[in-house]
Amino acid sequence: MTDEFDDTLPDADMDAFEAASLRLSVDLGALADNWRGMNTRSGKARASAVVKADAYGLGIEDCGSTLYHAGARDFFVATAAEGVTLRPHAPEARIFVLSGIWPGQERQIFNNDLVPVIASEEQLSFWMGTLADRGEHPFALHVDTGFNRLGLPLDDALYLADDPTRPASFDPVLVLSHLACADTPSSPMNRVQLESFRRVSEAFEGIESSLSASAGIFLGPDYHFDLTRPGITLYGGEAVNEMANPMRPVAKAEARIIQIREAGEGQTVSYGGTFLLKRASRLAIAAVGYADGYHRSLSGSGIPLREMGYGGAYGFINGYEVPVAGRVTMDLTIFDVTDVPANAIRAGDYIELFGPNVPVDEAARAAGTIGYEMLTGLGLRYERQYLIDDE
């Protein structure tokens, strides 16, 4: 025995992706296309790219660099650390940090040329002090127009715009706000926030302004201002309720079938024995579970959502939709593959969890959640592959 691994074993030169039990492919061509599409839909405004939360779980480095090459020159991240990771992949871009700046983050912000988005009076006074010590540095100002999340209160922002006593270093490069109900075009909240933001944008005349994330872009030109901030649509997700999704799917998640078993009528499946087989069945045991963000709430039975009558999730294999049977477990999920012809499925094959054949938002709905949460919760076990367009 040596303490080296034997690299003459047959799997040594097999591609890690080909061998993986659980894998995720990210179509960078579709990502770039989706960004160009949202940039076009933004009309006279430019589209930025929102790449927070590791580019919605798909990888900030590869996605960031693809978006940069597609033409994005403004990026939004949630934290300074995300901005540091992105910087080498978007060298000439402005990178806005939505959580602003906090004591101890000065080096990250200044050394990586990140633009903090200042969202409160406390942050503003800290930032003005930092500028007094270190000299000029760009920043943005977040104004709350009704979301009640981040941002200076509207009246404070309007006052600040004309305050003769404010420091000379108060010179934001962008004012922004965020819509609460843009996914519901008929919501009166959209107009109310638009009117408030118009006042902000007028008060800060000459400074660029930004109101809309993905959904807001679909509300039309009034909502575009100078810069839009699409996130979910870049990654192929739905932004607007009850509208056909015009975006190309970007992510495909697949789990390997590691066993196929026959089970008799009257038997039960998985924890709790909550799924009763009404016929002799064939079951595929796939290497994915709630530890991989395949939420327990996707279960076919045995959870509160199902008792309320909602259907469970389904996977896709060789042209067949295959429902989840019983509870999703930590590392394994059981799919009912009885209706798939025996010669069209075998152990070692992959079941698509979401992707071109199972929209991520449809899977999310089965879990009682949204595509955003499915994507950002994928966990660490996926082997990732990035597909590059030939164009």
Sign of CA dihedral 225, 229, 234, 236: negative
For residue 213, state whether it binds ligand PLP (rule: CB under 6 A): yes
Which among 44, 56, 159, 271 is annotated as catalytic? 271
Sign of CA dihedral 73, 78, 83, 89: negative
Which helix (H) or strand (E) element contains residue 97? strand 94-97
Residue with Cβ nearer ligand PLP (193 or 274): 193
For residue 231, state whether it binds ligand PLP (rule: CB under 6 A): yes
Beta-bridge partners for 263:
281
Stretches 14-22, 187-195, 230-238, 263-271: which one binds ligand PLP (CB under 6 A)? 230-238
Whether 24 contacts 252, CB under 8 Å: yes
Residue with Cβ nearer ligand PLP (239 or 358): 239
Task: Write down the least CB distance from residue 271 to ligand PLP, Å.
Answer: 34
For residue 67, state whether it binds ligand PLP (rule: CB under 6 A): no
Task: Write down the least CB distance from residue 231 to ligand PLP, Å.
Answer: 3
Pick one of 45, 58, 98, 227: the residue that binds ligand PLP (CB under 6 A).
98
Task: Write down the least CB distance from residue 118 to ligand PLP, Å.
Answer: 13
Pick one of 25, 105, 145, 214: the residue that binds ligand PLP (CB under 6 A).
214
d(CA 109, CA 48): 19
Q: Within a 13 Å sphere around the CA of 106, how many CA atoms are in the beta-carbon half?
A: 13
Which among 52, 252, 294, 382 is annotated as catalytic? 52
Would you report the helix, strand and coil content of the chain in percent, each value rounded to 5? 35, 20, 45
Residue with Cβ nearer ligand PLP (108 or 214): 214
d(CA 51, CA 56): 7
Total number of residues that touch ligand PLP (CB under 6 A): 12
CA nearest to 113, candidates 74, 59, 58, 56 = 74
Pick one of 32, 45, 47, 50: the residue that binds ligand PLP (CB under 6 A).
50
Stretches 12-20, 213-221, 265-273, 356-364: which one binds ligand PLP (CB under 6 A)? 213-221
Active site residue 223: no
- Helix/strand/coil for 189: helix
Active site residue 271: yes
For residue 232, state whether it binds ligand PLP (rule: CB under 6 A): yes
Whether 287 contacts 312, CB under 8 Å: no
In our burial notation (b when 16+ CB lie closer than 10 A, e otherwise), range 91-124 reads eebbbbbbbbbeeebbebbeebebbbbbbbeebb
Pick one of 83, 146, 230, 300: the residue that binds ligand PLP (CB under 6 A).
230
Whether 300 contacts 315, CB under 8 Å: no
By the criterion CB under 6 A, which residues form the site for ligand PLP?
A: 50, 52, 98, 178, 213-215, 229-232, 239
